[in-house]
Amino acid sequence: MTFSPELEARFAKMIGNYPPGRQKGALIPMLLYAQDEVGSMTPDLIQEVSRRLKVTPLEIEEVIGYYTMLAREPRGKHHIQVCTNVSCQARGGEELFAHACSRLGLHNKEKSADGQFSIEEVECMGACSWAPAIQVNYDFYYDMTPEKFDKLIDSLRQMQ
Amino acid sequence: MNQPTLLRPPHPLEVRVLTRRFEYPRTEPVWLDEYLRTEGYQALRKALDLTPEALVDEVKKSCLRGRGGAGFPTGMKWSFVDRKSPKPKYIVVNADEGEPGTCKDRILMGFDPHRLIEGCLIAGRAIGSNRGWIYIRGEYRVYIDIMDRAIEEAYANGYLGDNVLGTGWSFHLSTHTGAGSYECGEETALLESLEGKRGNPRLKPPFPAVSGAFQCPTVVNNVETYSAVPDIILKGGEWYAGLGTPRNGGTRLVGLSGHLNTPGVYEVPLGMNLLTIVNELGGGVWKGRKLKAIIPGGSSSPVLKADECDIPADYDSFAKAGTMLGSGATVVLDDQTDMVRVLARLMSFYAHESCGWCIPCREGTAWLKKITQRLDSGVGASKDIDLIDQISNSMMGRTFCPLGDAAAMPAMAIARKFRDEIEAKIQSTQAFVPAPGTRPLVVL
Amino acid sequence: MPDPITLTINGTQVSCAPGTLVIEAAKQNGIEIPAFCYYEGFSLQAACRMCLVEVEKMPKLQPGCTLPAAEGMVVHTESPKVVEARKSTLEFLLTNHPLDCPVCDKGGECELQDMVFRYGAGESRFTEIKHHVDEKQWSPAVYYDGSRCILCYRCVRVCDEGIGVTALGLSFRGVSAQIVPNRGDHLECDECGWCIDVCPVGALTSGTYRYQSRPWEMNHVGTVCTHCSDGCKTTLSVRNGQVLRANNRDRSGVNGEFLCVKGRFGFDFVHHKERLQSPLLRKNGQLQPVSWSEALSAVAAKFSEVKARNGQFGVIGSTRTTNEENYLLQKFVREGLGSKNIDHHRTGDVVTLLDALKGRTGALATVNDLYTAKAALVLGADLSQQHPLLAYQLRANSRHHRSATYLVTPGPVREEQFATKALRSNPGEELNLLPQLSDDLKQHASLTVLYNAAIKGDAVRQLVAFCDSLGIEVKYLPLVDYSNSRGALDMGLLPDLAPGYQPLRNPGLNAAQILSSPDLDVLWVVGANPLKSASLAGEKAFVVVQDLFLTETAQRADVVFPAASAYEKSGTVTNTTGEVQRLKHGPKVMGTKSDLDIIALLARQLNIDLGPTTPDRIFEQIRKTVHGYNVALPVVATGGAAPTTPVNGGVPVAVNPSLISPSGDTLFTSGTLGRYSKMLAKVMEAPGQLFKA
Ligand SMILES: Cc1cc2nc3c(=O)[nH]c(=O)nc-3n(C[C@H](O)[C@H](O)[C@H](O)COP(=O)(O)O)c2cc1C
Ligand code: SF4
Ligand code: FES
């Protein structure tokens, strides 16, 4: 399996960040960065990472099952994560999540048929003072309201 | 960089040490040039001339206590590392920032990344380390990118690398990303994650200072803790200690969130009154409503009712009030808040984040989640409230790592302090349950 | 020995070695601290929290499984606080447990049931919906029911630390946490089934045993595994004459809890539908079932006739029959038939070793020595494939005592995972590489050397000479392949050596010579299958076979006697380290007789007096007359392993190396016998491949 030259360069550097013989340390970053490029934990990806870091597929499975950001199935092009934990809940996070679901016609952890959007209710993402917050892929949007959300979706659709 | 105007204009009550480079409005981090212009890396230069013992002593004198949650004295933690051990020693920055309500470390990394790097260098010097990692939660890709760029700058200008500032001492630093797990903020789970494994916590002892990352002596501190170090070295431990109250040195970041007029992250000296923080910095409860409760140190800290909040915000005073300063995250709840809903949401968080390693936490958090969600949806009986208390008691102090306590403490506090409110919610929805005194056979 | 420390447990002063865990210190003094995740000899987890105890001056309850006992410590293991904590932990466990005890295999021997019975938690306050996951089949041998799993991680540890396979892991988290197999939805492993045995609940169940029986309906018979030569004890659980399960539940014998796939699942040949259950006699060219008396008379008639005319007998004995049977057979042949032509399939060179050692009986290693030795040297053998118990011992020794292991093998072997040095040699050229290791080996005070059939004849003498030159204490472990290969040698199933390695002046024909002799009148094969790989030159030979199945050899026979397997009889066998253990009969297969009975019946028909013919009396005779077998009777009688001390008969012997050939078995095969185990056939997914990737 091949990765983009940028990712290859990142991997090459990353492996050097761990003590000799302990390159397994790079496992989680490698999986996450590779997922950004590949989309999900495909069998090919697992095999490739297993080969490069000399870890068994079982060790990778243990990790994938544990970390919520590692996905077995590809998410939407715009993966919308709405926080509903206390600080966001206090300022309308749950209502925002309900709005987002109905706006996109999706349930929690679903993906739209065209693959553009997927939605997930997430735990606190450290944006509590600017609640309610959402993340689209890695981009934060703060002090959200249903109106702002609708505008955001529109502009994301435009991007296609 | 995607962090539009996260900063508020400075408030007169703030004492700005960590945040002194943050003018408002600012969206760009302080890169190396600006950092150097504002005393950047001066502390490092000073530290390179001091002995490791002197550095540890200075930090001890500052009364700096860990800002990650447990409030352990930082200087003491550093002194546990055996500098003479033949093994490499490591510096690990805990930037997992997972505790609900907490959003301060991102500000430090996002606006003043070199401060953190300088803190790591000084800590490395103090324990005889040549390598560190900044473990940043996966969702914070923006901050990983900022830190990566700052680290690159530091390498390019001789602050990091094989020959730090020409002294022949080498120190290497890199970021490491998490991938979605609150438990990975617990220091030993973090180390497991750093080694490429599931975030299951480790048996303690041995503590990380003896056997940490890759089984070598390791210091794990929070971002804010390291960030405080450069000023302590530059201006002296005593100066820093003097900013706070006895045994509670310095300033700290408080993340204000919830029902406030001006939520945000502020820097206050330890010991500032909690109500002052809420009313002055936070601009008071929003929409002219009244205060109902404060979660004063992150979601794991036991809630304070409005009438319990008139206390100094420092480690010891909070402990006396039966709660904790934790990560400094302060969630303010107004008088219209449904506490059952808050409780249910918190319990679903802990059930989601329990790693599952030990029985009381794995089964206890799941059970609490089910009960509280049922109560929230209006199906319950008052003995459920006792049950919440009993389950929490069965978890307290018996789990493998403190996550079990972190879930049990708020559950117990809310169930006890807001019993009337929970009862009222149960009563108001009696129509949905079978005849009084009976229990539904199956509860969906 | 460092000074012991003193602490108080439940009001009693006890002492223990420094570093002892509280749970062990309590156990040593007869106090049980309950535990699920703590498993002696494996890494510490402190996950189940059942072992929490109250320690004075410590604010929180402490896990006894990880807390080292300290001087002056005051521990309470049954205080109200502790009992309450245990009860609540059990209540937690039961919240998501399906409570399907009535249909669970583990019912009656489940640690969870026992604990709940003892500590209460019988009434649950849990009224919510339970978390459920469906049961999965991971392999023909292993099923996993995640709902029943209590996540004690015992299975994960025995697989990883004990066997070195690491086929089990932990995935997902929180209540959804699950044990997962290494190949997505299935297991690729040694299929040893140890995970099933250590599971305290019914989460892991066995493909052979599940839903077959309740534990209390079976008789549990401790006997010795009949597959390889390591001599593991195995407990057969028998109901109505049927073996339903095998494990080593009492942890006795040389193997403790260890068993490989053959020991745990390879017992099903016993009830294979092709088992012979009636004597067969060739009539009109066809083998036909006949009565015992008809078959015995036919053989007796032939034997008397050939004996009377001084014709040529050839006898090939077995490597799976008991010492008593082997002893009686050679006595029958030598004294009764007056023939010297007796041999068996030899798989290792013990004879030359004994000769080269010149009477040094202390230089022979036992299975336990492998666990205590400071260093071990393995020559030629792939232990994990051919001697799983010995591999396990070396691994445990390395894990617990950091012993050194040196390997010289023709191919990659799993022991490389922990070996100090591993060298690769051409097959049969292992000795050439030894000089490279001598400096390393000399570092150790003592050494145990294991060698297989690649080292035979003069090479064994060279090996001993090399070891003598090291100037350290060396013990030897000659590897042979079948369950009683060693007993066959010791009991003199050899043309040139009588029992106890006593040389005979005029040797008889060896196995190869017997098969290739055109003048052979009678070929008598007891529990062997020589015609699988060789042809019989003696066309006129009358062939008598005693066996379990109609093997290639039996198909050529004129008379076939249906024999009982090792699981169906009493007697003793000797494993590859020369330790004698007792067989106990478990199941019964209708129509069969033990080889001992068959030999005795033949003797009676021929009016040959062989003396007593019960296993016990013959063993008495062996103890008195066979050199090295004067072992302690109580040890054997109580199911222990008694080391023998064989020496050569004082006359140098020259072994013909071409008569020694390895069985070629792997972890999943067991000669002809193994072909009749359906379970072994089913689990052979990728034998031996696992560690070569
Ligand atoms: C469940 C759990 C989650 C934690 N999460 C964090 C975190 O996100 N960030 C952090 O700095 N410390 C966290 N901690 C605290 C760390 O274990 C540790 O005490 C801290 O990193 C030490 O640094 P300090 O001494 O600078 O506070 C957490 C602890 C627990 C038990
Ligand atoms: S399967 Fe059994 S032995 Fe393995 S962890 Fe689960 S309960 Fe324990
Ligand atoms: S035996 Fe101690 S926690 Fe399980």
- The whole-angstrom distance between residue B89's C-alpha and the CA centroid of its chain comes to 24
**How remote is the CA of residue C43 from the centroid of ligand 1, in Å?**
26
User: Is any Cβ of chain C less than 8 angstroms from the Cβ of A54?
Assistant: no
For the domain bounded by C5-93, which CATH number is listed? 3.10.20.740
For the domain bounded by B32-241, which CATH number is listed? 3.40.50.11540
For residue A53, the surrounding DSSP H or E stretch is helix A43-53
Q: In what order do the strands lie in the sheet with B218-222?
A: B172-177, B131-136, B90-95, B218-222
Percent of chain A exceeding pLDDT 70 equals 99
Q: Structure tokens of C360? A: 């040094």
Question: Residue B435 has what pLDDT?
Answer: 53
Q: One fold for both C5-93 and C280-346+484-646?
A: no
User: Min CA distance, B93 vs chain C (Å)?
Assistant: 25
Chains that touch B (3 or more CB pairs under 8 A): A, C
The minimal CB distance from B196 to the residues A27, A68, A70 is found for A27
Q: What is the mean pLDDT of chain C?
A: 95
Residue B379 burial (CB count, 10 A): 17
> Could you tell me if B372 and B344 are in contact, meaning their C-beta atoms sit under 8 angstroms apart?
yes
Question: Residue B443 has what pLDDT?
Answer: 46
User: Min CA distance, A154 vs chain C (Å)?
Assistant: 36
Label the pairing between strands C542-547 and C522-526: parallel
Strand partners, C186: C183
> Which residues in chain C touch residue B433, judged by CB atoms under 8 angstroms apart?
none
> Could you tell me if B328 and B254 are in contact, meaning their C-beta atoms sit under 8 angstroms apart?
yes
pLDDT above 50 for C688: no
Q: What is the mean pLDDT of chain B?
A: 94
> Could you tell me if B252 and B225 are in contact, meaning their C-beta atoms sit under 8 angstroms apart?
no
Percent of chain C exceeding pLDDT 70 equals 98
Residue listed under structure tokens 């490389």 = C416
Query: How many residues are recorded in chain A?
Result: 160
Measured between CA atoms, the residue of chain C closest to residue A67 is: C172
Does the beta carbon of C47 sit less than 6 angstroms from any atom of ligand 3?
yes
| pLDDT-based confidence at residue B438 (cuts at 50, 70, 90) | low
Interhelix angle B52-61/B223-235, nearest 10 degrees: 100
Does the beta carbon of C35 sit less than 6 angstroms from any atom of ligand 2?
no
Measured between CA atoms, the residue of chain B closest to residue A123 is: B349
Ligand in closest contact with the CA of C178? 2
Question: Residue C121 has what pLDDT?
Answer: 67
The predicted-structure confidence for A33-79, as pLDDT tens digits, reads as follows 999 999 999 999 999 999 999 999 999 999 999 999 999 999 999 99
Alpha-carbon dihedral angle through residues B19, B22, B27, B29, given to the nearest 10 degrees: -70
What lies within 8 Å, CB to CB, of C528 at 6+ separation is C316, C317, C318, C319, C344, C345, C553
SS3 state of residue C16:
strand
Say if the Cβ atoms of C173 and A59 lie within 8 Å. Answer: no
Q: CATH: 3.40.710.10, 3.30.70.60, 3.10.20.600, 3.20.20.10. Which one for B252-334?
A: 3.10.20.600
User: Min CA distance, B213 vs chain A (Å)?
Assistant: 10
Query: How many residues are recorded in chain C?
Result: 693
pLDDT above 50 for C11: yes
| pLDDT-based confidence at residue C684 (cuts at 50, 70, 90) | confident
**How remote is the CA of residue C38 from the centroid of ligand 3, in Å?**
5
Q: What is the mean pLDDT of residues B26-32?
A: 93
Atom of ligand 1 nearest to the CA of B353: 1
The minimal CB distance from A86 to the residues B4, B139, B345 is found for B345
- Domain C351-479 falls under CATH 3.40.50.1470: no
Q: What is the mean pLDDT of residues B92-121?
A: 97
Q: CATH: 3.40.50.150, 3.20.20.80, 3.30.70.20, 3.30.110.70. Which one for C111-271?
A: 3.30.70.20
pLDDT above 80 for C691: no
Percent of chain B exceeding pLDDT 70 equals 95
Closest alpha carbon to B220 in B146, B133, B143: B133
The predicted-structure confidence for C274-303, as pLDDT tens digits, reads as follows 999 999 999 999 999 999 999 999 999 999
Measured between CA atoms, the residue of chain C closest to residue A60 is: C171
The predicted-structure confidence for C503-521, as pLDDT tens digits, reads as follows 998 999 999 999 999 999 9
Q: Where in chain B is the domain with CATH 3.10.20.600?
A: 252-334
> Could you tell me if C322 and C583 are in contact, meaning their C-beta atoms sit under 8 angstroms apart?
yes
Rounded distance, CA B441 to CA B431, Å? 16
- Ligand 3: which of C24, C42, C50, C201 to mutate, most ligand atoms within 8 Å of CB? C50
Question: Residue B378 has what pLDDT?
Answer: 86
Rounded distance, CA B382 to CA B422, Å? 8
> Which residues in chain C touch residue A61, judged by CB atoms under 8 angstroms apart?
169, 171, 180, 184
Residue listed under structure tokens 């076939």 = C560
Rounded distance, CA B248 to CA B236, Å? 16
Q: What is the mean pLDDT of residues C29-52?
A: 97
Evaluate whether ipTM surpasses 0.90: yes
pLDDT above 90 for B4: no
Q: Structure tokens of C680? A: 């072994």
Q: Which amino acid is at C554?
A: A
Does the beta carbon of C36 sit less than 6 angstroms from any atom of ligand 3?
yes
User: Min CA distance, A128 vs chain B (Å)?
Assistant: 5
Q: What is the mean pLDDT of residues B128-143?
A: 98
The minimal CB distance from A90 to the residues B140, B142, B337 is found for B337
The predicted-structure confidence for A68-100, as pLDDT tens digits, reads as follows 999 999 999 999 999 999 999 999 999 999 999
User: Min CA distance, C388 vs chain A (Å)?
Assistant: 23
Q: Which of C50, C51, C67, C92 to mutate to test the interface with B (most CBs of B within 10 A)?
A: C92
User: Min CA distance, A62 vs chain C (Å)?
Assistant: 4
- The whole-angstrom distance between residue B230's C-alpha and the CA centroid of its chain comes to 20
| pLDDT-based confidence at residue B1 (cuts at 50, 70, 90) | very low
Chains that touch C (3 or more CB pairs under 8 A): A, B
User: Min CA distance, A89 vs chain C (Å)?
Assistant: 23
Per CATH, the architecture of C280-346+484-646 is what?
A: 3-Layer(aba) Sandwich (3.40)
Cα Rg of chain B, angstroms: 23
Peptide bond into C412 cis (omega under 30): no
Residues with a CB atom less than 6 Å from ligand 1: B 66-70, 72, 74, 94, 96-99, 182-183, 185-187, 220-222, 225, 401-403, 406
**How remote is the CA of residue C48 from the centroid of ligand 3, in Å?**
5
User: Is any Cβ of chain C less than 8 angstroms from the Cβ of B405?
Assistant: no
Say if the Cβ atoms of C170 and A62 lie within 8 Å. Answer: yes
For residue C522, CA distances in Å to B48, B88, C608 come to: 95, 76, 18
Rounded distance, CA C83 to CA C89, Å? 10
The predicted-structure confidence for A100-136, as pLDDT tens digits, reads as follows 999 999 999 999 999 999 999 999 999 999 999 999 9
Residue listed under structure tokens 């180390």 = B191
Query: How many residues are recorded in chain B?
Result: 444
CATH class of B339-430: mainly alpha
Chains that touch A (3 or more CB pairs under 8 A): B, C
- Ligand 1: which of B59, B76, B78, B94 to mutate, most ligand atoms within 8 Å of CB? B94
For residue C602, the surrounding DSSP H or E stretch is helix C595-605
| pLDDT-based confidence at residue C687 (cuts at 50, 70, 90) | very low
**String of DSSP letters for B302-347:** PPEEGGG--SB-SHHHHHHTT---TT-EEEEEETT--HHHHHHHHH
Domain locations along chain C: 5-93, 111-271, 280-346+484-646, 351-479
> Which residues in chain C touch residue A66, judged by CB atoms under 8 angstroms apart?
171-173
Domains of chain A: 5-66 (1.10.10.1590), 78-158 (3.40.30.10)
Strand partners, C21: C68
User: Is any Cβ of chain A less than 8 angstroms from the Cβ of C185?
Assistant: no
Q: What is the mean pLDDT of residues C346-371?
A: 95
User: Is any Cβ of chain A less than 8 angstroms from the Cβ of B352?
Assistant: yes
Q: Where in chain B is the domain with CATH 1.20.1440.230?
A: 339-430
What lies within 8 Å, CB to CB, of A38 at 6+ separation is A44, A45
What lies within 8 Å, CB to CB, of C146 at 6+ separation is C133, C134, C135, C136, C178, C179, C203
Say if the Cβ atoms of B360 and C131 lie within 8 Å. Answer: no
Say if the Cβ atoms of C171 and A59 lie within 8 Å. Answer: no
What is the per-residue burial (b if ≥16 Cβ within 10 Å, else e) of B330-354?
bbbbbeebebbbbbbbbbbbbbbbb
Say if the Cβ atoms of B399 and C176 lie within 8 Å. Answer: no
SS3 state of residue B93:
strand
Residue B89 burial (CB count, 10 A): 22
pLDDT above 50 for A23: yes
Q: Structure tokens of B183? A: 């438990």
- Ligand 2: which of C152, C166, C176, C194 to mutate, most ligand atoms within 8 Å of CB? C152
Is the whole model's pTM more than 0.90, yes or no?
yes
| pLDDT-based confidence at residue C692 (cuts at 50, 70, 90) | very low
pLDDT above 70 for C690: no
**How remote is the CA of residue C196 from the centroid of ligand 3, in Å?**
20
Say if the Cβ atoms of B363 and C95 lie within 8 Å. Answer: yes
Say if the Cβ atoms of C127 and B397 lie within 8 Å. Answer: no
Say if the Cβ atoms of B198 and A90 lie within 8 Å. Answer: no
For residue B121, the surrounding DSSP H or E stretch is helix B113-127
The minimal CB distance from A26 to the residues B178, B196, B265 is found for B196
Atom of ligand 2 nearest to the CA of C168: 4
> Could you tell me if B250 and B17 are in contact, meaning their C-beta atoms sit under 8 angstroms apart?
yes
* Protein residue with its CA nearest to atom 3 in ligand 3: C46
Question: Residue C123 has what pLDDT?
Answer: 80
**SS3 letters across C344-367:** CCECCCCHHHHHHHCCCHHHECCH
